[in-house]
Amino acid sequence: MFEPIHGSAPKYTGKNVINPLAAICAAGMMLEHLGEEKGAKLVDEAITKLLSSGRIKDLSTKSGLKTYEIGDMVVGNMGGS
């Protein structure tokens, strides 16, 4: 029910080449659906801040960023390390 529109892409598992923003957005939608408004807002704001920053030039695999790097940026925008 809460999966990125592109699906889970199992052929890329462990390769660190997929942009995780769609999956993170899906997790935020799940939180909202479950009534976890604070968590959903935190996810949404972190992604919005990241995209507004210009640190990600391309949402495809051509961004030059690893999966974990983008995930770390989102977490950093949530106040995590």
Indicate the pTM of the whole model: 0.84
**Angstrom distance (rounded) from CA 40 to CA 25:** 9
All structural domains of the chain with their residue ranges: 17-77
- The 10s digit of each residue's pLDDT in 14-27 is 999 888 998 999 99
- The 10s digit of each residue's pLDDT in 3-52 is 777 667 788 889 998 889 989 999 999 999 999 999 999 999 999 999 99
**Angstrom distance (rounded) from CA 51 to CA 35:** 25
